[in-house]
Chain A
Amino acid sequence: MSLGSGLAKGLAITLRTMTRRAVTAQYPEEQPELPPRSRGVIGLFEENCTVCMLCARECPDWCVYIDSHKETLPATTPGGRERSRNVLDRFAIDFALCMYCGICVEVCPFDALFWSPEFEYATTDIRELTHERDTLRAWMWTVPEPPPLDEAAEEPKEIAAARKAAEKAAEKATQGEAGDG
């Protein structure tokens, strides 16, 4: 590209951009539309939590705090065995330490941790960034539905397994009918 045409192109592009609408979103007045998988904050669905501690152990910077105790439930049937279970006492995430890697969300075997696009929780004191279970539970309400799968995507495993089982059953049934006849 020669010097002159390059200069002219620069002028043309800037002038054209000026006549178009700016892409700026005026944030405090206008909320951004964040995609469903945005890593804003981690919500805790505490009903699902079994205090397995996997999240706390996998967290690379140790920002998950969990306290619990064991409770013993009486036997439900006469002569049955007593059952023990973990009860969550404290679940806190220190977002001053959290580096938003999402490993805790990934490792949780019981789907108790979720990403939420909510991001407006800045504080003026670093100590207030440690959020306890009630706040984390409240953030669950901001977790959006998972986006639909891409049309070309593979079938989800549980659906694929169910479909295969159903197909097998149907095949057996037709074979049985043929044998009868």
Chain B
Amino acid sequence: MTLREFLSDRLGRIALWLVCIALAALFLFAAGTQPGVLALLMLALFLVFVTVQAADFLRQRARLLELEAILEGLDRKYLFAECVPPPKSLYERRLFDLTRRAGRAMAGAVSDAQAQQRKYREYVEQWVHEIKAPITAARLICRDLDGETRRKLTAELAQIEAHIERALFYARAENPEQDCLLRQIDMGKVAAQAIENHRSLLIQSGVQVVTEELDCTVYTDEKWAVFILGQLLQNAARYRGTAPVIILSTKPLGKQTQLIVHDNGIGIPAHELPRVFDRGFTGSNGRNRGGSTGMGLYLCKKLAGFLELGLEIASEEGKGTTVTLTFPTKENLTKL
């Protein structure tokens, strides 16, 4: 609150006071009061008025600053009214009471919504685990089929699994600290696991996967890293060109390690590149080929943020796409 704001807020009061003073002075002057006495009286009145206004201004400003600081320090700001010392004046007290009641209604609604969301998340996770039993059974049953049918069905089952996995990680990304386990893991193992998870898609797409210099270790969560790499592999296989090749390699960057996933696929148009990590963004490639959810890279970015992984993408249309994952060093991890 500035002095100017304060004055403009009290403009009416000041004007009324000036008018009253003027009338009083006129009356006293007409009644024959000496001009010297009158001037002294006016000065005294003016000083009293200014002092009162100044005191008001300072008190209000201090109170506002105090409230501001309380709000600033609050984690859940809607609980503000609960944390503030009750005001002294009756009118303010009543106002605060109203705010507090509104705040309580809000807090109730928020905790209801949170409980509902938690239950939903729990259900999704439970559902994901339950759906895995019939998929496992289906995979085992597939074994009895002859070669071509088995391969096709296995590929379809793998697709279902990929969709389910995304749903699971979407639910998990809301409360990542619950199942994130950062530790030293072997890059080669992560790559092998991700490739294994998507082997039907990769083999069916006729992709040649080249792995180079993966014998190093990084600090991250293995499952999440496998998921992120899996999304990148799926994209590379889905948006492949002729004679598709995916190259996985690592490169040191200072003390950090970079995992580079390069493909020679159809690439991403330059103007779409900044939006590929947006939720639900499918782009022209996704629309032309179909089957794109716009969730894969969005989830990658979200999980990468929690793992403190750098995630960058570069692409040239018709030439291919390169995604670079920069793993943090142990010292740089804040959540270990």
* Chains A and B are bound partners: no
Q: Which residues of B contact A (CB under 8 A)?
A: none
